[in-house]
Structure 1
C-alpha cells in the first residue's frame, strides 16, 4: 500500500510543480492567452484534488507504524493545494479590466472567479470531511481493538470455566468411587454381624441342648 501511496505522491509533485509554473505565467501574462492557461490550471487543480482523495483512501490501508507519517504528509499536500488555489485566484483577478475587450467578457471571468471560490470552499469542506473520516476510522480501529481484547478475555474465562468443570467432574467421580467403597464396607460389616449372631445363636443352642440332656441323665 505504501508503494501506491508513493506513486500518488510522485504524480502530485509533478502536478503541483506544473501548477506553480502555470500560476507564475498567469501572474505575468497580459494577453488573452490567459484563457487557455486558466483552463489548464483549473484542470490541474481538479486532478490534484483527485490525487489527494486517492492518497486519503490509501492511507487508511497503510500499516499502523507508517500511518501517522503518511497522514502528516497528506495534510501538507492539502495545505499546499489550498495555497496554490489561493495564489491562482489572486493571479487570475489581477488587472482583469485591462485584459478583456468588453464588460461581458469581464463579467464571465468574474462569474468564473465565483465558481473558483466555490471550488475552494468545496476543497475546504473536503478537507474537513477527510479529517472526520480519519477520526471515524480511528474510532472504528480502537473499537475493534477493544472488541478483540474482550473476545480474548472471554476466551480465557471460558477456558477457566472448562477447567473448573473438569475438576468438578473428577471430584464427582472420586466421590462416587468413595461412596461405592463405603457401601461395600457397610455390606461386609452387616454380613459379618449376621455371621457372628448366627454363630452365637448356634453356640447358645448347643449349650441349651447340653444342659437339657445333662439334667435328664
Structure 2
C-alpha cells in the first residue's frame, strides 16, 4: 500500500464529508449566502477532482495487484464525487420552491446523503483494511530486513572462520613440509650410519684376518 495514496485518500474523504455537509446547508439558504456556499462547494469539488487525479497517477505507478484494488476504490470515489456534482446542480438550478426543497430535504436529498454516507462508510472500512494490510506488509518487510541482517552477520562469521581454516591449513602445509624435510634428513643419516657400519665391519674383518695370518705364520 502506498503511503502517498493513503495521504491523498484521507484528504479526499475529509473533503467529501465536508462538501456533503455544505450541500445540506446550502439547500436551506437564499440569495448571496447560497451563492457563496455554492462557490465554496465548487472549489471543494475542484480540489476533490485534483486529489482523485493524484490518486489515479499514484495507483497506476504501483504493482498490478495493488493497482487493481486502488483503481476499484477510485471508481467509487468518482461515483461519490458525481453525486456531489448532481446535488450542486440541483441547488444551483433554483427551480425548487420551498415545498419542493423541503421534500428534497426529507426524501431525495436524505436518501442521496444516506447513500453517500453509507458509501463513504464502506470506503473508510476498505481504507482501514488496506491500512492494516499495509501495516502487516511493513511488519513483514521489517522482519525480512532483520533476517537479512542476521544472514549477513552469519556470512561474515563464516567468512572469518574460513579465513581461520585457510590459515590453519597453510600452517599444516608448512609443518608437513618441515616433517618431510626432517624425514629426508633422518633417512640420509640412517643411510650414512648403515654405510659406516659396513665400513667398520669390513675394517674389523680385515684386522681379524690380519691377526689370524700373523698368528699362523708365527706358529708355523
TM-score, normalising length from structure 2? 0.60
- Give me the whole-angstrom Cα distance separating, in 2, the residues matched to 1:28 and 1:49: 29
Q: Does 1:107 align with 2:111?
A: yes
Change (3 A) 1:104 1:30: closer
Q: Does 1:149 align with 2:146?
A: no
* 8 A contact 2:104–2:110 mirrored in 1: yes
Change (3 A) 1:180 1:163: same
Say which of 156, 175, 194 aligns to 2:198.
Answer: 194
Displacement of 1:119 in angstroms is 0.6
Unaligned runs of 5+ residues in structure 1 are: 58-91
- Give me the whole-angstrom Cα distance separating, in 1, the residues matched to 2:209 and 2:174: 53
> What number of residue pairs does the alignment pair up?
166
Moved more, 100-109 or 45-54: 45-54
Displacement of 1:25 in angstroms is 4.8
Displacement of 1:27 in angstroms is 6.7
- Give me the whole-angstrom Cα distance separating, in 1, the residues matched to 2:156 and 2:113: 63
Alignment-derived partner of residue 26 in structure 2: 29
Q: Does 1:214 align with 2:211?
A: no
1:115-154 to 2 correspondences below 5 Å: 115-154=119-158
* 8 A contact 1:19–1:44 mirrored in 2: no
| Cα deviations by residue, 1:16-66 (Å, 9 ceiling, x for unpaired) | 7x949x6485475336969x7586576566567668979x99xxxxxxxxx
Alignment-derived partner of residue 165 in structure 2: 161
SS of the residue 2:27 aligns to: coil
Cα RMSD for the two superposed structures: 4.2
Change (3 A) 1:147 1:167: same
* 8 A contact 1:100–1:106 mirrored in 2: yes
- Give me the whole-angstrom Cα distance separating, in 2, the residues matched to 1:26 and 1:44: 20
Unaligned runs of 5+ residues in structure 2 are: 29-33, 64-86, 88-100
Displacement of 1:109 in angstroms is 3.2
